Structure 1
Amino acid sequence: MEEIFIVSESLEGGYEAKSLQNSIFTQAETLEELRENIKDAVKCHFAEGNTPKIIRLHFVKEEVFVV
Structure 2
Amino acid sequence: MDKELIFLVEEAPEGGYVARALGHSVFTEAEDLEELRANVRDAVRCHFESEELPRVTFSLPLF
For normalisation by structure 2, the TM-score amounts to 0.90
User: Which residue does 2:18 correspond to in 1?
Assistant: 16
User: Which residue does 1:30 correspond to in 2?
Assistant: 32
Task: Identify, as 1 or 2, the structure richer in helix.
Answer: 2
Instruction: Give the gaps of 5 or more residues in structure 1.
Output: 63-67
Q: State the superposition RMSD in angstroms.
A: 1.1
Structure 1 runs of 4+ aligned residues shifted over 4 Å read: none
User: Which residue does 2:8 correspond to in 1?
Assistant: 6
Instruction: Give the gaps of 5 or more residues in structure 2.
Output: none
Shift of 1:60: 2.1
Q: Give the % identical residues.
A: 48
Q: Work out the CA distance in 2 between the residues paired with 1:31 and 1:6.
A: 12
Greater Rg over alpha carbons, structure: 1
Query: Partner amino acid for 1:30?
Result: D
Query: Partner amino acid for 1:9?
Result: E
Aligned residue pairs, count: 61
Q: Work out the CA distance in 2 between the residues paired with 1:21 and 1:46.
A: 14
The SS at the match of 1:49 is: helix
> CA offsets, 1:2-23, max 9 Å, x none?
1000000000000000000210
